[in-house]
Structure 1
Amino acid sequence: MAHKVKIYTLSTCSHCKAAKKFFTDNGINFEFIDVDLLSSSEKTDTLKEVIRYNPQRSFPTIIIDKKVIIGFRENDIREALGV
């Protein structure tokens, strides 16, 4: 079963890079947004989205289907993906 995976990241965040590498290395399709690289108006709108899932606005914020995982927690990610 294909999962819908979206990651809110910062381009300079080592945990965000590790999360992206994990999904890539495991052949899992994902969408990511480097929030810090967005224009001012896009960043404002995107941070509103992040706050819905993660009021602390910490990164990475990972959404797998309807499950939200804050930070790169590999075991939680594997469990959500069933891998």
Structure 2
Amino acid sequence: MSIAVKVYTTPICPYCSNAKQLLKSKGVDYEEIGMHDMSREERMALMQKTNNYRTVPQIFIGETFVGGFDELNKLNQEGKLDEMLNG
């Protein structure tokens, strides 16, 4: 699986942990970006890319904003996640 995956997280977030665990179970290498490590400008730019999505995790597969853990898990259950990850 070669498509880039980014997961924006906060330190104490069970949904972030669940998302990372699901990706790891699929053998996916992902980039984790801490929301607290981002500048205000970076967070504002991210909000524009996610249509003002305000919870974490915020997951991107390639340039596609997937949503959070619930959406990622739903894609997996529907068999669509592997397809997205394979580009």
Query: Could you list the runs of 5+ residues in structure 2 that have no partner in the other structure?
Result: none
What TM-score do you get using the length of structure 1 for normalisation? 0.77
- 1:24: Cα distance to partner? 1.2
Q: 4+ residue stretches of structure 1 with deviation over 4 A? A: none
Q: In the alignment, what sits opposite 2:40? A: 44
CA positional deviation for 1:16: 0.7
Distance 1:66 1:81 in 2: 16
- Give the number of equivalent residue pairs: 79
User: Which consecutive unaligned segments of at least 5 residues does structure 1 have?
Assistant: none
1:62/1:44 CA distance change after superposition, 3 Å: same
What is the RMSD computed on CA atoms of the aligned residues?
2.0
1:6 partnered with 2:6: yes
Give the distance between the partners of 1:32 and 1:68, measured in 2 at CA: 15
Q: Could you tell me which residue of structure 2 aligns to residue 53 of structure 1?
A: 49
